[in-house]
Amino acid sequence: MEEQEKLARFQERIDSGQKIEPKDWMPERYRKQLTRMISQHAHSEIVGMLPEGNWITRAPSLRRKVALLAKVQDEAGHGLYLYSAVETLGVTREDVINEYLEGRAKYSSIFNYPTLTWADIGAIGWLVDGAAIINQTMLARGSYGPYSRAMVRICKEESFHNRQGYEIIYTLAQGTPEQKQMAQDALNRWWQPAIQMVGPPDDNSPNSAETMRWQIKVESNDVIRQRFIDRTVPQAHAAGLTIPDDQLKFNEETGHWETGPIDWDEFWRVVKGNGPCNRQRIQDRINAEREGQWVLDAAAAYAKKQGKKQLTLTE
């Protein structure tokens, strides 16, 4: 079959809502786009453990500690499903992890900000998992079977994360004036990064035309961002907190909250490696890889004895 004809058939399958599976024919660009997105997503789950892991030993109660520990473990699990999903596209997880360790791979901009107080743990669950769920519920309807199925399970776990985060923020906001101020301060620092994390505006999103034509993404960055804002503003108000945007207003005609300007210069600075914690995040992962080498060596020795392939740290 001619390439053009294969392409037309492929597009027909996508347009009729069929899932594409690993052994099906797919255009090289489709494979490339998915490999890019899934590997970035996997790295984000793993690097996302760092800002939260920072607070496990300092959680204010046993209940909070247990919930945070479970959340961070869930994120590791998400990374593993996603590294497995990316392997179905013909790359190895060692290759994509090495790209990350060498600073060549992207991961979500949001994880380059520090967690300065306990309220930041609430802000991550509420805002970061909140934005991620809205984006990923959309990705669960995407065309590639292994990725869309991974999203279903991940979203269920993220819903728990989101509620534990909002509960932390809400509780602090109803506490002493100092506690309320801590919650407000976390919202002030995380609001812009959170509304930026679902990607640049549609008119400056080079991958969208292709990722949407092939239904890797089924809704655009702007649509997802607006949904996140519409859902989150009333939650802030219910907790008695103020969104840090003096131009924020509700448009009665469209039924949407409209924000003031979003700081896209800051977003691109962070994406290009110059956020407050970019270097530290990569260094921490390099250290973890180095310090975990003995586990790899032990697993490799065991695998050799059993006649199996060599394992990686994330298996």
Taking the alpha carbons at both ends of the chain, their separation in whole angstroms is 39
- What's the closest the beta carbon of residue 249 comes to ligand BYC, in angstroms? 25
Q: What SS3 state is found at 307? A: coil
Q: Segment near ligand BYC (CB under 6 A), from 38-46, 168-176, 239-247, 300-308?
A: 38-46
Other beta carbons within 10 Å of 292 = 12
Residue position matching structure tokens 């509620």: 163
Tokens of 125: 């669950």
Tokens of 127: 């805002």
What does residue 256 show for φ and ψ, rounded to 5 degrees? -120, 155
Tokens of 301: 């020795």
Positive/negative CA dihedral, 126, 157, 109, 150:
negative
Among 142, 35, 139, CA closest to 89: 35
Cβ nearer to ligand BYC, comparing 159 with 179:
159
Q: Give the separation between CA 26 and CA 10, rounded to whole angstroms.
A: 7
- What's the closest the beta carbon of residue 71 comes to ligand BYC, in angstroms? 7
- What's the closest the beta carbon of residue 15 comes to ligand BYC, in angstroms? 19
- Contact 30/214 with Cβ under 8 angstroms? yes
Q: Among 129, 162, 187, 245, which residue interacts with ligand BYC (rule: CB under 6 A)?
A: 129
Answer yes or no whether residue 36 interacts with ligand BYC by CB under 6 A.
Answer: yes
Q: Segment near ligand BYC (CB under 6 A), from 95-103, 192-200, 272-280, 299-307?
A: 192-200
- What's the closest the beta carbon of residue 53 comes to ligand BYC, in angstroms? 10
Cβ nearer to ligand BYC, comparing 59 with 303:
59
Among 28, 32, 50, CA closest to 40: 32
Q: Segment near ligand BYC (CB under 6 A), from 57-65, 102-110, 181-189, 246-254?
A: 102-110
- What's the closest the beta carbon of residue 291 comes to ligand BYC, in angstroms? 21
Residues of span 42-101 touching ligand BYC by CB under 6 A: 44-45, 48, 75
Residues of span 204-233 touching ligand BYC by CB under 6 A: 205-208, 211, 217, 221
Answer yes or no whether residue 37 interacts with ligand BYC by CB under 6 A.
Answer: yes
Cβ nearer to ligand BYC, comparing 128 with 182:
128
Answer yes or no whether residue 164 interacts with ligand BYC by CB under 6 A.
Answer: no
Among 48, 79, 40, 100, CA closest to 315: 79
178, burial (CB in 10 Å: exposed 0-12, middle 13-18, buried 19+): exposed
Answer yes or no whether residue 198 interacts with ligand BYC by CB under 6 A.
Answer: yes
- Residues engaged in binding ligand BYC (CB under 6 A): 36-37, 40-41, 44-45, 48, 75, 106, 108-109, 124, 128-129, 132, 135, 139, 197-200, 205-208, 211, 217, 221, 271
